[in-house]
Each structure stands twice: as C-alpha cells, then as structure tokens.
Chain A
Amino acid sequence: MTQIGGIGVPPVEENIPQVVLRNYGKWDTHEIVRPGVIKRIAQSGEVCYTVRIAMPPSRISVATMLELCDLADKYSGGYFRITLRNSFEFVDVDPQRIDDLIKEVEALGFPVGGTRNSMHNIMACPAWIHCNLPATDSPGIAKAIGDALIEEFKNHRLPSWLKINIGACANIEEALMADIGIIGVHRDIPVVIEDKIKICEQPTVIRICPTGAIRAKGRESVEIIAEKCIHCGACTMHCEAILTGDPKLDGFAVAVGGKASNTGSGPDLGRVVIPYLPNNPPRWPEAVEAVIKIVDAWRKDAEPDERMREWINRIGWDRFFKKTGIKVSFKDIDGYYYGNEFARSDLRFGW
C-alpha cells in the first residue's frame, strides 16, 4: 500500500521567484507606488513589484483561480502569494506592465488596493455556505460591506489601516482581532433531540459545556439549564443531537478595536460595542450602517497614523460612544468571569 501523508510542505525555495530568492532576508525598504502596488527594494538595488487584489469572501471557484493563474503566468512569471488577509498578490511584476495587469484584473472583477491607509481585504468564514453553527452569514455581510466601502479599499484615504473580520459564531478567532469585527450571536437555548441523543456520549456532552449548563436526564439523555447557557455552541459542535440557532432570534454583534501589532498601545482583542443586530439577507443593511457609522466617526476624528484602538484609547470609550452615536446597554458591561476588571474604577470621566 502506498504511504499517505507524512510529507509536510514543499520547500521554501520551490515556490519563490528568483529575484525574491536572490534577496531573501536582504530587503531594505519598500514604497507603495499606488494603492495595491508595492515596490520592494533590496540592499543590492534590485526591486520586486507586487500587485494586490481583493478576493471574494470565503469561497472561490476553480475556474476563477485558473483565470488568476493565467494572469500570473502572463505578468508575474507564474508566481503569486496569498497574503495573511487572503488577498491575492502577484509577485515580481514588470513595472512597465503593471497598468496592463491592473486593467485586466479589474476587468475580471477584482479591485486593486488594500495597502497602507485603506480598508484591507475583508476576512470571512464560510457560515451558511458550509457550516452547521453560524448565527449569521459572514460572506454575505462581507460582500455587503465590501460593496459599500470599496472606494476605501482602492484609495489611501483613511487615517490608518482598517481591517474588518467577520465570524459567524462565537468560535471564530478572527472577529475580535480586527479594527471592526462582526460576530454571529445566538440567543436561543439549544434544543436536545430526544430520539437521537443516545448517539452522543453522555459524559462528553456534559463535560463539553463551559458553564455546566448541561446535566444528565436519566441514563441516556441530557437537559439544558437555560439560565446557565451562554449560547457558545460547544454542545452543537460536538453532539449531533443538540441544535443551536433559531432563524427568528439569530443575529450578530459588532466589536471594535482589535489589533495585533505591538506598536502604540500594544496588541489587544476587540471589545463588543453593539450586542445584537438582526439578520437581514441578502444585503444586511444594519451591518453596513453600523460599520459605516464607526468608520466615519474614526475618520473624522483620528490623527494621521492612528488605528481604531489608538483613537479610542486617546479619546476614551465614553467619547467613542458619543461620537459614533452608539447606544450603551447593559450588554456592554462585562459580567462574565473576570469581566468585572473592565468596570470603571477611576473618576476620569469624559462628560
């Protein structure tokens, strides 16, 4: 029998263009020639141009990838990379032909941009396309927000970069790690399907609940203690016979201020500012409106080079709510485990 797996990944050198290999670790600086086009300059004086485009949220077809591969063959010697925000980047493009490439790739429907002070590519999980736990549809929201903010992707008009991530349930890490994150929110109590629950191991199901909201019911079934449930979906992920989600109750929350870089105030997770908005497919007007409201307040008020979180740290959360017009609710006050740390213990208010 042929061995399956155990291979690992292809060697570094295999997929990297020659100019990159020659200057590996010897890059000196870079310039953004125009939004989406980066000129990397090596110590040796050699240059490497990259062109970045937005990608459709979550899914892409083989046919479209083949078209992009054709363009990569034509313009970048067959090399490309996918950035950490899932943009597609042509690596080592001839500077004379960048305009042609941009024309061709825009004709295919891919905007060029997403560098420096612009909105970067929007990240989204598959949600309704291929998942059993989503409370909302990330790709749909991403598409709606992308359509509304596409000019910010193509131009450097924002104070600093703006990253928007969308996760359709409480498990998607990305959502709290961007300047604006959208997180799917379940509000229902999970339902146990009595005639199917036997197929799940009772102890595992009870153990899986982070708050102990699941207890044994007889020898083969379990029941859910409603007031302990935090709607995290852990039970649904691990047992087929417990279902979370209700079309009438599901929706999403909006978080702001996540950031990974150590510059400024350092890395931090975002904070939830809008606890719930309803699903409204296919265009999610509530999500688009909330994002635009936050972006506009930030754009108007922030100093140059100030990320969302730095801006909030400077003006304080009280003024953030005032300037964005978002209403504060009890849901904004964290009462979960160590959440009390977030309560105010000083009198330095921003009236």
Chain B
Amino acid sequence: MEPILNKETNAETTPMTDELCKGPWPSHAKELKRTRFPIMMYEEAMKERYTQWGHGGMSSVPGLGSGAIARKSRRPDIISHSHLIRVLGAPGNFYKTSTFRKILEIADKYGDGSLHVLTTNYNIEICGLMTNEDMKAVTLELNAIGYDVGSAGDAIRNIADCMGPSLCEYAVMDTPRLKYFMTKHYIDDIQYPRFPFKIKTKMSGCPNDCGKALLHGDIGIIGVFRDLPKVNNERLLEWIKLGGDIQRVLDRCPTDAMVWDGKGLEIDPDRCVRCMYCINRIPAIKPGDDRGVAITAGGKMKGKYGPMKGKVVFPFVKVTPPDYNELVEAYNRILQVYDENGRKKERIGDMIQRLGFDKFLELCGVEPMPMHFSSPRRNTFYHWSEEELAGGVR
C-alpha cells in the first residue's frame, strides 16, 4: 500500500511540527504527516500552547459495547470532531502480520490512518473515525478477524498482561492464557459499563512486576511463589567460572539472605523475601515450585487521595486452569465489594481509603494475615461490634 498523504490538510506551513520531524528519535510528527490526521490541530496547539481538542470520553454508540471514544474539536474550521476505537490487545501482545495487516486495512479504510500502538493500558487505538456507523463497521470487521473492542467507560478495562512464560524464564504464572480466559469470562463487564468507575486489571507473571500490576492496577494479579528460590550449585560454579560476579549479587541482596561459602549457595529461609533479584542475575537460581498469584487492589493515580500504590488483598491464590475457580472467586469478591460500596466516580483505591483497609478486607471475606501490612497499626482507634464485646477479639 502506498503511504497515505493528504495534500489538502498538510499543505499549509507547519514550522513547529517540521521542527519535531527532525532528529534521530522516531518522530510522531513525521508519522502524523503520513496520515490524513489534521496536522494543523497539532501545529496550532503548539503555536497557542494549548490543546485544540474539546470535550470527549466514552461514547455509547447504539448497538455497540464500550470501546468508542468521542472527541469534539474546538476548531471547527479545521475539523469538527474525531473519534477513536480501542481494540483489546492480543495475549502477550504478540501479533502476526497477516492479521495485523487486516487491522491496518480497517484503520486506513475508516479512520485517518493513524494508530496508537499501544496505549498505557495496552490497547490499540484506531484513530480518526468520523461517524457512529463507521465505528460499528470497524467493530464488525475486527470481530470477523477475532479481535474485539472495549476498554472505555466505567467498566473493567483491558485485562493487561506481560509476555509471561511465552518468552520469559522468570514467569511463575501463565499470564497470556489467563488473559485469554479472563477476557472471555468477563467480556460482558468489559463491554457494558456498570461499575462506579473504571477498573484497570493488570497482570504480571512474577514479582518483577513488569506489567506494573501493583502500582497501576485497580486490581493487580501478580505471580508469586512461597517456597525458596531453587539453587543449582553445579551450574552456579560454572557461571562463576565464566566470569559471573557473585559478590555483587551477595552485596545487593536486599535482606542479606544468601550464604555463600565458595562452593555452594544457601538461601536463608528466615530472611528471603522472594524479591527475584538473585534469580534475575544468576541463571542457576530459579523461582520455587509452590506457585500462585497475589491479588492487589487500589493502585491508581487520579482521584481524591491522589496517586496510590496497590494493597495486597489476597497474598496467595492458587492458579488452577482451565477454570481458575479460586482466582475468579477472589476477583469477584473485590468486584462485588466495589460494586456495593463504591460511590459514583470513586476509584477502588479511594474507596479503600474512605472505608479503611481493615473494613475492606473484612468485606472481601479475607482472614487477616501479616502479609496484609508492612507494619501493624500505631493507634488503638478501632471499632468493636456487639458480638466482639461479648466474646473477645475476632
């Protein structure tokens, strides 16, 4: 296919965007100029130092689930509006050119020829759509090649995953297959918004947390192991012989849990926190075999109490394909508590802050464990129920 250039919209002089086309780093301005995107919108924004786009957000197109985002323009002289469709990313974010070319064809046929690959929630956006009919047509054509739209509005957003065991040796949980299962299982909640606010679900295969599940996910699912990392001493000696710097790893173990006597390595069970550092550095050390996931809740940036880290709700849940019963049960409990207690436009993190984490755990039906806090509380301001007053501490 020939590069798409629209002479009419790109004919005017654009000194600012031209400046951004220069330089060795890949340029978005150059990319935009290869499409029918109204480049004057960007040029004017830079000239005015202010966005030229108007109000927008999830738009409900009759007959179409979530996934359509509308955007008005403040400059009707350049363009009246421009909508986009969010496509749920494939498991592991792997793509095959034969199907991806079809996505590109759709983007070129209906949109302005620009894409966002990938968004911060790992979707693909097809940009520059003009009508509801086009958005419906795009969805139908995507459906025909096995892709679907979603990830907009107050729904479960794209269930994002890392590459997991497909290419990574550290993964203790099969994230791509879990993503496939979860997306199928929760497709109605993904496409039909019914929650107080958005729920971003993120998954990482191991505590390295490349998917930023703990920080970024309203609900985070992170692969963990409970036993100690496995050390293959023979291979370790081989690695040292080839120039591996064991001293640096010993020094940088955050809890000093590694005991090395020159011949063999032992890991102190009372000190190891399964942080993955030695596993990342030394190929002779592998994650343990008692594997599962930790489920966190409340990571977010916007909202009342500002940026928050996620909090561990379920420290260890067994992963049991093909129906993942334990995991779905735990996930559903968080959804239910949020559905029943969340106020309109209140993220899970803000709800936890308002309710209190103790109350939230109780509502989730979780038994309190030391894994739920980094330290116990320092005040005695807690509530007592009638039953507790009669029968002692729960």
Contacts and interface: CB of A to CB of B under 8 A. Distances in A.
Interface of A: 1-2, 4-12, 14-16, 20, 24-30, 40, 48, 50, 54-66, 69, 72-73, 78-84, 86, 91, 109-111, 123, 125-134, 137, 139-140, 142-143, 146-147, 150, 167, 170-177, 204, 207-208, 210-211, 232, 234, 236-238, 240, 245-248, 250, 258, 260-269, 279, 281-283, 304-305, 336-338
A264 B275 contact: yes
B307 A62 contact: no
Given A10-B146, A59-B32, A263-B277, A82 B93 contact: yes
B216 interface: yes
Please give me the 7 A-B residue pairs with the lowest Cβ-Cβ distance, nearest first: A146-B25, A147-B23, A210-B304, A25-B165, A128-B45, A56-B26, A61-B34
Interface string B374-391: 000000000000000000
A50 B166 CA distance: 13
B143 A78 contact: no
Nearest to A269: B307
A147 B20 CA distance: 10
Contacts of A10: 90-91, 99, 146-147
Contacts of A131: 51, 53, 56, 71
Contacts of B148: 5-9
A178 to B, nearest CB: 10
Contacts of A129: 28, 32, 37, 41-42
Contacts of B184: 8-9
Contact of A261 (B3, B82, B191, B209): B209
A83 B252 CA distance: 27
Interface string B151-186: 000000000001101111101001011011001100
A144 B41 CA distance: 20
Given A27-B165, A129-B32, A62 B104 contact: yes
16 contacts: A15-B92, A63-B2, A65-B100, A72-B97, A84-B122, A109-B30, A126-B116, A143-B25, A167-B301, A173-B299, A177-B216, A204-B345, A210-B304, A240-B55, A264-B252, A264-B277
Contact of B51 (A128, A146, A170): A128
B199 interface: no
A260 B96 contact: no
Contact of B167 (A63, A86, A91): A91
Given A130-B84, A247-B49, A173 B216 contact: yes
B71 A130 contact: yes
Interface of B: 1-4, 16-17, 19-20, 23-32, 34-35, 37, 41-42, 45-46, 48-57, 63-65, 67, 71-72, 82, 84, 88-101, 104, 107-108, 113-118, 120, 122, 127, 136, 139-140, 143, 146-150, 162-163, 165-169, 171, 174, 176-177, 179-180, 183-184, 187-188, 191, 207-212, 214-216, 248, 252, 254, 273-277, 280-281, 283, 299-309, 343-345
Contacts of B107: 62
Given A24-B166, A130-B71, A171-B301, A80 B97 contact: yes
A139 B28 CA distance: 7
A201 B90 CA distance: 38
B275 A262 contact: yes
B20 A59 contact: no
Contacts of B307: 173, 176, 269
B20 to A, nearest CB: 5
Contacts of A127: 51
B64 A60 contact: no
Given A8-B184, A16-B94, A267-B209, A147 B24 contact: yes
B127 to A, nearest CB: 7
Contact of B302 (A73, A232, A305): A232
Given A5-B65, A24-B166, A245-B50, A130 B180 contact: no
Contact of B187 (A6, A54, A128): A6
A265 B254 contact: yes
Given A7-B147, A56-B28, A264-B275, 8 more contacts: A5-B148, A15-B96, A61-B32, A131-B71, A132-B51, A261-B209, A267-B214, A336-B306
B289 to A, nearest CB: 13
Given A56-B27, A132-B71, A260-B214, A9 B34 contact: no
B25 A147 contact: yes
Given A5-B187, A7-B147, A12-B91, A60 B254 contact: no
A204 B108 CA distance: 38
A262 B94 CA distance: 26
Contacts of A268: 309
B37, B100, B122, B276 interface centre (most CB from chain A within 10 Å): B100
Contacts of A56: 25-28, 30-31
A8 to B, nearest CB: 4
